[in-house]
Amino acid sequence: MVSIQSHRKDEHVSLAIKFYDKTSHAGFDQLRFVHQGIPEICLDDIDTSTTIENIKMDFPIYIEAMTGGSEYTKKLNQKLARIAKSTGIAMATGSQSVALKDNSVASSFKIVRETNPNGIVFSNLGASADVLRAKAAVKMMNSNAIEIHINTPQEMIMPEGDREFNWIKNIKSIQEELACPVIVKEVGFGMTKETIQQLVDAGVKNINISGKGGTSFSKIENYRRKKQEMDYLEDWGQTTVESLLEAQPFKDKTNIIASGGIRTPLDAVKAIALGANSVGIAAPILYSLIKNGEEETIEFINDFIYGMKSIMTMMGAKNLSELQSKKLILSSDLLSYVSQRGLPY
């Protein structure tokens, strides 16, 4: 018999595909680079490497947390792991909480490490998890790092979701006691400078601002409600671009990661120019895998990396540090947001 949690995992995948939009709504269209006509650089000069603490990544993109916890999602995770192995990018799984409650589905996560034994793999748990559960999640996949997700709106809309959100103590303890890097991430609702400050004060070294504009878990969870009456929250949160602007004061204090509505190489490069050191991509990869298969998804990722390198060449930026020195032109709406929020860009 399939558990409620496993059924929910399958629902999340099917609804993410149902609501997938190839157009980003994360605010990247409100940013422009200033074209550099004589970049004085070659494509072969481009270095896309980045780090998350002691983890060296050849490319600044990775497969963001999506799934696991059922037989169907086990097959997806195995395919995603093969894709990550082939392309040389890192991969995060969906929340492992279901596997910590029901060991029979742990294989849907373990399959990632079994398939990609030498790859970079991130575990994932909610912020209600304690240190012991976080250590167990990392051990389950012999992970290189762990993502701890915060997702209040999703939980409030989810019929069976949590209703208590006292998270900082757990986050601080996990950060202090785990040997591997800890990444605290949103799930598509974005972050403010106040939230980022809370995390920095708790000692968090890696923050994924995961903004609005891609997969909407408020929309997914509302669809799962009998009356679907909470659609007024489907637009809740800050976009990825707004969240990156909120993160400007903290670029030298913590490692900023971006996700949420990353649809094109240009989106990813803009996110890095705004201060992100790596970029998570979820829905486009999942959609490509389900609709087009593994080989085309591998091609999609390789083309994505080439596109990023092409833009960096056009900008005369041979590495991520040089790219982050390039200023972007902001739309009037973004300038208004920056002004009203008192942000230093």
**Does the annotation place 8 within a ligand binding site?**
yes
**Does the annotation place 282 within a ligand binding site?**
yes
**Does the annotation place 154 within a ligand binding site?**
yes
**Does the annotation place 261 within a ligand binding site?**
yes
Look up tokens 């593994």; give the residue.
294
**Does the annotation place 315 within a ligand binding site?**
no
**Does the annotation place 67 within a ligand binding site?**
yes
CA diameter of the chain: 63
| 301-306 own/partner pairs: CB under 8 Å, 24+ apart | 301/61, 301/83, 301/87, 301/89, 302/87, 304/61, 304/264, 304/265, 304/268, 305/48, 305/59, 305/61, 305/87, 305/265, 306/265
**Does the annotation place 283 within a ligand binding site?**
yes
**Does the annotation place 129 within a ligand binding site?**
no
Look up tokens 């949690």; give the residue.
5
**Does the annotation place 82 within a ligand binding site?**
no
Identify the burial level of 192 via C-beta atoms within 10 angstroms of its C-beta, where 0-12 means exposed, 13-18 middle and 19 or more buried: middle
**Does the annotation place 215 within a ligand binding site?**
yes
The one-letter code for the residue type at 198 is Q
d(CA 18, CA 345): 37
**Does the annotation place 277 within a ligand binding site?**
no
- Annotated binding site for FMN, which residues? 65-67, 95, 124, 185, 210, 215, 261-263, 282-283
- Annotated binding site for Mg(2+), which residues? 155
- Annotated binding site, which residues? 8-9, 65-67, 95, 124, 154-155, 185, 210, 215, 261-263, 282-283
- Annotated binding site for substrate, which residues? 8-9, 154
